[in-house]
Amino acid sequence: MEISTYFLILCACVVNFVTASVNVADVPCGRSQVRQAKIKNGTDAFPHEYPWLVSISTAGPNSPHFCGGSLIHKRYVVTAAHCVHHKRPMDVKVLAGAHNIFVPNSESEQSISVSSIVIHPDYSKKYINDIAILELSTDAKWTKFVRPVCLADMELDKAKDSLDGMSVTAAGWGNTDEKQYGGKPASILQKVDVLVVPTATCESWYNIDGVRFYDSHLCAGYENGGKDTCQGDSGGPLMMNDDGGRTVIVGVVSTGIGCGRPKTPGIYTRVSRYITWIQAQMAASTQ
């Protein structure tokens, strides 16, 4: 079966902790100014619960959402490389501050064009190094609806199993299930809690499908399936809290097989592996 990209549906949130986070923005990161709260079997997020989450679509009026992303700075969005591979900056736009992407909200939303797309130089269509940075044409304006998220600290990358068994949260506007089961794109932002699965376990579950895992991958889901990512959620964040209560993205939605199938958890790009690369691209663009 061909590997397809999918996104999540929702959860009841459990707070977990990483020891530290990285802020590359000019304001405090990972702080929502609203109360905390479909991905498959998910629930609606509270309006603007995740103010860093953006919808990525083709430039032009009434263009549909095709991927998610995370604001890490007023000028930069982190997303998946496969979302924007072979796309020109002029053909992509970002919608920040959205909740129901089918109902425009001039009070909260900011539609921003993209000036450049930086794909990781070692990106492979096998979803290796599946990460990219979008540089926005104009700065996002920080409001209670639009805020930056923190990045996972590089220390997480030194202990590959440090997240194993932890509960993490994904959110997005992807399909609520596979299309063959009636799944449709979500209008209201959805969220879901899943567990980080040890790489060896994930490899054994996926073995029949011949999927290979790398150190840059993070696996999250359930042995029995049910909650997972779905098409259209790619590029969005996999999140948890640091020890200061700030929201940190530990993964970027990358790939998977189907949507919520048993023994096929979602596969994510491990963000801690790319902190130095992200900071270098940001620094290079300002020179």
With contact defined as beta carbons under 8 Å apart, do 276 and 22 qualify?
A: no
What is the distance between the alpha carbons of residues 56 and 69, in angstroms, rounded to a whole number?
Answer: 7
Selection from 246, 222, 224, 225 nearest residue 167 by Cα: 222
- Give the residue numbers annotated as catalytic, written as ranges: 82, 130, 234
State whether residue 200 is helix, strand or coil.
helix
CA atoms within 13 A on the CB side of 172: 37
Selection from 93, 67, 94 nearest residue 81 by Cα: 67
Sign of CA dihedral 283, 154, 238, 97: negative
- Residue 70 CA: distances (Å) to CA of 102, 106, 129, 209, 219: 20, 20, 17, 30, 19
Ramachandran quadrant class, 150 (left: phi over 0; alpha: psi -120 to 50; beta: rest): beta
With contact defined as beta carbons under 8 Å apart, do 254 and 267 qualify?
A: yes
What is the distance between the alpha carbons of residues 115 and 285, in angstroms, rounded to a whole number?
Answer: 11
